[in-house]
Structure 1
Amino acid sequence: MPTQTEIELQAAAFRRLQQHLMQDRTDVQNIDMMNLTGFCRNCLSRWYQEAANERGIEMGKQEARELFYGMTMDEWKANYQTDAKPEKQEAFKVAFEENVGKR
């Protein structure tokens, strides 16, 4: 069982990852993250939602995304998301199926 210090360090690392993705590297597209790593900002928000739900905290997909992104998905898309080329979209279908679809 992790110690309280270990839990706090893990939480701090998560908050720093979130800051990095949401403030420092808004230029990195979710589709590129998913294609390269098998996860993206949406996955992180979903994992946050799942952790809340497992602890009896009701949280929906949109609420989790807004908490993680610090704004609505519509705002994020308008401010930071760019159009993806067809080859990226095809690669995304594969990456999504391999990493999210088999859940």
Structure 2
Amino acid sequence: MNAGWLYIVTNKPRGVLYTGVTSDLERRIWEHRNHIYRGFTDSYNCTRLVWYEDHGDITDAIYREKQMKHWKREWKIRLIEEMNPEWQDLYETIM
């Protein structure tokens, strides 16, 4: 069983939201912060980790991500604010 993480990064509080999934959260957020790959998060400077969820199995994380991709923006904001009401960058807390 491979662990998985579902996460949301943004460029600023209540800014652009990007939902992703990974098996190594610390590494993946480091990649976002250092613009390692060109793409959506690089173009919109989504480097702030504002929400994450641990899954015991990567397939569970992928399934949940597919569900959340269809969510309304307001639902994602509510989810973030339940865990992180100040929209702090949580990267330091996962290291």
Q: What TM-score, normalized by structure 2, do the two folds share?
A: 0.23
Instruction: Report the structure, 1 or 2, having the larger strand content.
Output: 2
Larger Rg: 1
TM-score, with structure 1 as normaliser: 0.22
Which structure has more helix as a fraction of its residues? 1
